[in-house]
Structure formats: structure tokens, C-alpha cells
A and B are shown apart, each in its own frame.
Chain A
Amino acid sequence: MAPVAPRSGDAIFASVERVNSELFTLTYGAIVRQLLTDLEDVDEVNKQLDQMGYNIGVRLVDEFLAKSNVSRCVDFKETAEVIAKVGFKMFLGVTASVTNWDAEGTTCSLILEDNPLVDFVELPDTCQGLYYCNILSGVIRGALEMVSMKTEVTWLRDMLRGDDAFELQVKLLKQVHEEYPYKDDE
């Protein structure tokens, strides 16, 4: 039997079970509010959101691979395209665009025009340093680490801080090749 072809983001999004987007937005908002109350320091909250995202990403990648049938991406460019078109569509219902490639092809920007996490959200003056969607940067970092890519993901533009779109910069630090895990003398 020939291997099944990869499915498009729209096709998978149509076939998975979906949840009400307001429920999703409000739940995420409640998480961020609770973290702000518990930790009080905006930088700590950013770090916690990133860590939570990392833990999600580590599990999410298997679900993504199982449902979307994509085979191993040949290079980082393909990886970024797959994340933007299939990954974001499958899990958030929106597609992102990939731009701003650097000369070596190791850094790019993912641009999100529409972001379901931030519907109805405004940042008050007390939280000006907060990256509200920092969970997304953790998710991408965690997921890519499980496919042997160590990356650094940072926010360049954030609509909640007055910019016109959400821009995430994804930088590939290195590819970690698999090694034989057992020592030879054991």
C-alpha cells in the first residue's frame, strides 16, 4: 500500500473536534490572569508561559505528525512553511505567513494577522512588559526540539503593545543528530 499523502491544514481542521473559540480565549485569559496574581512579576509570568508552552509543544508534535501525515522536512524553510500553513491552521484555525528569511536560511518570521488568543484582550498599564501570547513561542520551541531542532523563538511585534500584527521570530540554533544512546560496554 502506498504511503498516504500529507493532508492540508484545512482538511485536518475540518476533521478534528473543535471547541468554542470564546471558551478557548477566556480559558487562556484566566490562566494568564492567575499567573499574574500568583507570580506578580511580569518577567516571571513570561517565563512560566514559555515553559507551559514548551510542555505543550513536546506532546503536540506527536499529534501533529499523526494527523497531518507530513514526512520529515528536508530543510528549515520547509519546516517553517509547514508550521505556518498546517500547524497553525490545525490547532488555532488561522494560517500564518513566513517572511524575512536571512541569508543562511536559519532565521525567519511567522506573521499572524489574526490570533484567537487575544480576542477582546487589552493590556493594562501595570502589565506593559507582558508577552501575552508567550505560550505560542514555547509551543514552537518544544515541538521543534522533539524533531531534533534547537531553536530560539522571540516576539518581534505584538498587537497588544500597539503594533499592527503578531510577528514571531524563529531562529534555528542547531540540528541535533540522533546518537546511539547506550554505552558500548554495557
Chain B
Amino acid sequence: MQFFGGSEISPSPPVPTASGNNAYVLYIFNRNGVCLLYREWNRPLKTLNSQQDHKLMFGLLFSLKSLTAKMDPTCVDKGNLGVPQLPGQGCSFHSFRTNTYKLSFMESPSGIKIILVTHPRTGDLRESLKYIYNLYVEYVVKNPLYSPGAPIRCDLFDTTVDQYVRGLG
């Protein structure tokens, strides 16, 4: 959602860091709100402690999904705002952009939510988020030492995601 016209009007966003890395932050949540992974590459301003930050992010997306589904003009169902939904049901919002960042979101039907915050000029990241989901399946889900629902502590996954995200954009 871009309010008040294009980003040319607002002050231009900060230039990406010298490494050419486009991405700022990555979150992965599961269906119960547990933050499985949090990685940051470029986040100069931190206003909240990490617990509150995760809750805020999860809550934001939860509400946004609900809102976008209820405001869908093509949808037949006239449910009230606030009625709980199944993960993946309804129209799925996939990104929003402000003058300083773009947030891309993907949710699987099993409730795994992947959020990537990048430079606002970034294009459509849906395929990239799918690829990160595939990485999650290969390195985390198939890892017998990982217990589902716990935060991810897997070095191989961290390095692969890091490499992939740095190569984006």
C-alpha cells in the first residue's frame, strides 16, 4: 500500500550498504507466533527489545491478513472483522511498501510465515520467499535434531539463507 503517491515525493531512502546488500531484516514465524528465525543485515534504529519486536511484527501481519481478506471486493463470504481464519485462507496479501522499505510476506498453508524487509525499489519477491521456504524444508524440517516449534539453531541454514539473501536484488 503506497499512500500519498509515489516515493519520488518523499525523501529518498538511504543508499544500500557497500556490500550491495538489499535486504534489511528477515523473520520466520510459525503458526503459534514463535519466532523461529530473526536475521538482520542493516537495521540502524532499534526501538524495541527483540521479544516485543517479534510480537509486534506477528501481530501486525495477523491483523493485516485479516483486514485484507475482509476488504476483498471479490469475496462472497460476509464474515465480520476479527473472525478467526484458517492459515492461507482468503486473499493473501504479499507485500507493502513505504518510502524507506518494502516488506514482503509469504505464508504457507501450514502456517509458516516468512517476512523479508528490503530496499523499497526491490521487485516482486514471491519467488525468493518460496525459495527460502524450500531452504527451510531442506535444512530445518529434514534435520532430525530440530524439534518442530522451537527456534532454529542450525548453522548450515543460517549461512545458506545469508548467502542467498545477500545475492538478491
Q: What is the interface of chain A, defined by CB distance below 8 A to chain B?
A: 1, 3-4, 58-59, 61-63, 65-67, 70-73, 146-148, 175, 177-182, 186
Contacts and interface: CB of A to CB of B under 8 A. Distances in A.
A119 B23 CA distance: 51
User: Chain B contact residues: over half helix, strand or loop, or mixed?
Assistant: loop
Closest 3 CB pairs of A and B: A72-B88, A181-B33, A177-B84
Contacts of B62: 180
A175 B88 CA distance: 13
B151 to A, nearest CB: 15
B80 to A, nearest CB: 13
A146 B88 CA distance: 12
B86 interface: yes
Interface of B: 31-33, 55, 58-59, 62, 84-89, 108-112, 124, 126-127, 130, 133-134, 136-137, 141-142, 148
A146 B110 CA distance: 5
A3 B109 contact: no
Contact of A181 (B32, B87, B133, B141): B32
B108 A178 contact: no
Contacts of A62: 108, 110, 112, 133, 136-137, 141
A31 to B, nearest CB: 15
10 contacts: A62-B137, A62-B141, A67-B134, A67-B137, A147-B88, A179-B84, A182-B33, A182-B55, A182-B58, A182-B59
A148 B87 CA distance: 8
